[in-house]
Structure formats: C-alpha cells, structure tokens
Amino acid sequence: MLRNNYVLSCCVNFDFMFLKFKDEVSSILSDAIAKSGFETDDLALAESPHADLASSVGFKLASKYKQSPKAISEKIYANISLQADSYVANAQMTGPYINFFTSRTFLNETVLRVLLDRENFGNLGNYGKVILEHTSANPDGPLHIGHIRNSVIGDTLARILKRAGYDVETQYYINDMGRQIAVVVWGLENFKFDTTKKKDHAIAEVYINANKTLVDEKEHSPEVDAIMKKYEIGDPEIEGKFKGAIDTCMEGIKESLTRMNIHHDKFIWESRFVRSGEVNLIMDRVKALDRTELKDGAFMVDLKDVGIQKSLVIQRSDGTSLYTTRDLSYHEWKTTQCDRMIDILGADHKLISSQLKAVLHILGSKEPEIVIFEFVSLPEGSMSTRRGVFISADELIDEVEKAAYDVVDKKLPDKDDEFKKMVAKFVSIGAVRYDIIRISPEKATTFDWKEAVDFEKQGAPFIQYAHARACSIIKNAKDEGVSFEDFDPNVLLESQEIGLIKKIAAFESVIDNASRELKPNIVAIYARELADAFNQFYRFVPVITAEPEFRSARLALVECSRIVLANALDTLGIFAPESM
C-alpha cells in the first residue's frame, strides 16, 4: 500500500521503537562503563526534560571509587562509542549527567512504523491468559459512581493488557449468596416492583423499602433468614426466585455498562462453588491446617505470622460458608483457567483481600494481583445502596450528556439534532471515563456535580477534538489531491514535529509501563500529552498550505498522530470521532 522506497529499505525486522532506543543506550553505556574500569549494575537511566534518556551513573559510582561524579562521568563519556544508523544520535555531558538523544533514524522509523502498523501500533509481545475481575457489584440496585470507578479502572486495564499482548478475559463475580440478595427476594414478595423504571433502579427501590421495614419491624428478620437458608441448601423454588431477581437487576447493570463501552466476557455466580462442592473441599483443606482452630463452633484461621492480626473465619458455627470461603474457591478455580489473575477492588476490601491472598498462599495456590482503588464519596458523606444514598451511574451520564448537548448546541448550531445528540453521547461517555481514569486509584475522591459536568477542563473532549481535527486535515488534503504515499521523513525538522514524533514513539513504552505497573492513569495522561503535542504542531506548522516538499511528509505525520490518538483513545475505551 505504501510505495516508499525508504520504507522498504529500513522497515524490516525492527522491534519496538522507544524500548529499542532504551536497549541501545543501555548497551552503549554499559560498554563505556566497563571500558572505563568501573563496575555497576545500575545504569541510573531515566527519562528527563533535558534528554530523551539521562544517566546519573556518575553520582552512583562516586563514593565507591572515591572520585567526583563529574570526573567519573567524564571518563565514561570519553569511552562512549556510537554506531552509525542506530537509534542513538549522540550523547552529551551536562555537569555530571550523561544525556542521550534519539537519532534521525529513530524519528524516521517511528513515522514509517506507525503508518505500517496502524491500529496495531503500540501492541506489545507479551503472552499468557489473564483473568481480570472487575465491577462485581451486588445485584441489589444500579451501579453508582463508586462502582463505576471500579468498572472504568478494570475495563481500561483490560484494554491495556490486551494491547500489551495478553489474552484477557474479564469476569463479573455475582455475589448471589449474600443476605442483601435475600432481602431483595423477600422485598419482591412484599413490595411493589415499579415496572416503569429501569430494572436495576426498580430493584433498588424494593431493596431500600425492604431494608427500612426490616429495621422498623424486627419480626420479619427470620423470614429473610429462612430464605437465605433455603437458597444455601438449594431449594428449587427459592433458587428460581433468586435467579429471577438477580437476572432482572443484572439486565439493568449490563445496560449501564454497555452504555459506558464496558463489556464482561463472563458472569460467575458464587453459588456455583457451593453447589459443586468445591467450597466444602476447600473448607476441609483449610481446617486441616495447623493454624486453623475451632472456636465456639466456627473455624478460624490464624494469620498473625504473616502480619495479619485478624483471624479469618472460614466456616460459621452452623456449618455454612462465608463470602471469603467462596471467594477462595473462586480464585482456585480461576487459577486453573489462566496464567495471571487480577482483581479490581475497593479500599474496603483491603483486609479481606490480604487474608484471601495469605490463605491461598498457605494452600500453595496462586495469589491474585490486586488493584485497590480508594472511595468515591459524596460531599455529605459516603454512599450506600441500602440506605438509598447514592448517585447512580445512569443519573451521572444523563446529566453529563445533557451538559454536553448544551455545549455542542452552542458550538455547532447549524448541525442537525441527530448529529448533536450523537456528539453529546460520545463526548459525555469520554468525559466520564476520562475523569475517572486520570486519577490514581489510590486517591480518594469526593464527587462534585459542578466538576462532573464541566467541559472546560482539558479532558477527553480535548483529545477527541485533536483526533477530529487530524481527520479533517486528512480529508481536506485528499480533496486537494495531496497524498503521503511518497514522502521523505527527513524534512520533518521543526521542533514541534520532532516533539510530536517522540511523543508518538512513546506510546509503546506507555503501554509497557501501564501494563507492568497496572496503572491505567499513565495512558490517560499520555493521551492528553499527545493531543497537546499535536495541537502545538498544528498551530505552528502548516500542512496543506506548505511547500510541496514538506506537504506530504507533514501529512504523513498528521496521519501518524491520528492513528496513535485513536489507539490511545481506544485503549481508554473512549470513542475517537472523525468530526465533532
């Protein structure tokens, strides 16, 4: 498709751009260090505003060799030998630092590489099956703004891991054996189910009413206990009722998730592990441990030696299992299906998940990798489905979509209503997802309506707009007969062009870091920086109106930007519009 001789001559068998640059720098520096007679396994390489990669190795060796950092760096620097045509253009000494810079070859190959790989640019070569569990909200009401932090983190991580090369399966674990579902079942028999409402919201209404009544009229509590017990032993009639209630609620939840561009591959009911006998098997194995003791009829696991003061109860005195016991079975089952397990959990699960990991470890089973996110609270305090104190995801998206529509209506008054609605839709979903994902999971947040519907801050619409603008330039170029089928990347010399290419090249290492550290916000920040770099290029460097020798190369760069912006947005689960 690309008829460019340059492509044919250089684009065979090279692997990842920035990662390869890093490798080359590492080997150049190691060689120089060895030649200088020093020894270290820490090259002290880091990205820096002063260079593409900078080493402060002089400092590291100073005390060991009793020389000044600068003297050491000078010796190493004198022994650096660069190869022609590599990704490393030159090394410079600035004070005691040794700075490395990418070469023209690196920049040129980045551009050509993106044009060849297109939507696959940024995909890495990891392998293995990953089961990623996220959301797993109890089916007793709609997803609220706390749950969707879990969903968005989970879905984005799944997308990142897929790009990193893993075979990812997402699972939603349905806690169908908890008391709250029994309350819903009891509630459905005693309260009106509002069929005019979205199903998960109608379930919440029943659940809230049922809870209120159960608090006010204590005599009904045994009725719920009876329902729970029947479900535990597998009473067919009760099972049907549970299934009906849960399916009803899940239908609404799935609708909300789909709306946010989130999909689960599997829905796993916790009761299956009780029914299959796996829970009993694992209880027996845990009971057989030296550390498990019978206390007042219940079995407790002592975990003090692994730093957990709180003992874990794995079987009640009435012989039934608990949430964690079933979770133990779930995780052992997952182990047989994959190479890595990742769970996304709220901060309230910190203790329980460390207990879970500890017991799995003691049993000789694989432990899950756990991503904990801190709570989203309301200005007036924490949310609770049971008390009816929460802002639902649907409500949030509705409001954001309305606000988005107003903005679109103002900016594009001449467009037809259908178009405006469509734009409002993907802008709002993007804004909601971006606002959640840009913040590190370990940061607790307080929800603020004013912030949530504010489109002035530089979030998803900014990135989507950059993408749309790139599309527009490409379209205009096509109309004017400008193409990039044959171009010379060597003419891309402006600082904005070079900055943009470097940013584009960084996508692979961004995916690499984000997947390694399970930090989805790295990708969010990157996408914004990429849009930033593109906007600066756009502002200062004319494309279509440029001289012919620059035109095609710049257009190729616009196409590269478009591709990587789209890939980054896709990784964030955000739609990349061609116009907005």
Partner RNA sequence: GGGCUCGUAGUAUAGUCCGGAUAGUACUUGGGCCUCCGGAGCCUAGGACCCGGGUUCAAAUCCCGGCGAGCCCGCCA
Site for RNA in 391-420 (CB under 7 A): 404, 407-408, 411-412
484 binds RNA (CB under 7 A): no
Would you count residue 131 as binding RNA (CB under 7 A)? no
Query: CB-side exposure of 503: number of CA atoms within 13 Å?
Result: 29
- Residue 40 lies near RNA (rule: CB under 7 A): no
One-letter amino acid for residue 145 of the chain: I
Residue 134, SS3 per DSSP: coil
Rounded to a whole number, what is the distance in angstroms from the first to the last CA of the chain? 29
The span of 29-37, 261-269, 284-292, 451-459 binding RNA (CB under 7 A) equals: 451-459
> How many C-beta atoms lie closer than 10 Å to residue 318's C-beta?
9
- 215 counts as binding RNA under rule CB under 7 A: no
Interface with RNA, residue 522, by CB under 7 A: yes
> In the complex, what is the shortest distance from the CB of residue 5 to RNA, in angstroms, rounded to a whole number?
26
Nearer to RNA, 6 or 333 (CB): 333
Task: Report the length, in residues, of the chain.
Answer: 580
Nearer of residues 180 and 392 to RNA, judged by Cβ: 180
DSSP at 141: S
Decide whether 207 or 538 has the Cβ nearer to RNA. 538
Nearer to RNA, 7 or 453 (CB): 453
Q: Count CB neighbours of 317 within 10 A.
A: 12
Give the full edge-to-edge strand order of the sheet including 88-94: 45-48, 51-55, 97-102, 88-94
Distances (CA, A) of 108 to 10, 417, 488, 496, 562: 9, 43, 9, 15, 17
Binder to RNA among 78, 215, 347, 493 (CB under 7 A)?
347
Candidates 178, 209, 272, 486: give the one binding RNA (CB under 7 A). 178
Q: Exposed, middle or buried by CB within 10 Å (0-12, 13-18, 19+), for 31?
A: middle
Residue pair 140/184 in contact by the 8 Å Cβ criterion: yes
CB-based contact 77:93 (threshold 8 Å): yes
Q: Where are the beta strands (DSSP E) in 56-136?
A: 88-94, 97-102, 129-133
Q: How far is the CB of 421 from RNA (least distance, A)?
A: 12
| Site string (295-324) toward RNA, x via CB under 7 A | xxxx----------xx--x--xxx---xxx
Residues 267-296 contacting RNA, CB under 7 A: 270, 295-296
**CB 398, min distance to RNA, A:** 17
Q: Which is nearer to RNA, 7 or 541 (CB)?
A: 541
Per-residue contact track with RNA, 135 to 174, x per CB under 7 A? ---x------------------------------------
Report if residue 234 touches RNA, rule: CB under 7 A: no
Which of 36, 56, 73, 248 is the binder for RNA (CB under 7 A)?
56
Q: How many CB atoms lie within 10 A of CB 186?
A: 25
Assess 86 for contact with RNA (CB under 7 A): no
Q: Report if residue 456 touches RNA, rule: CB under 7 A.
A: yes
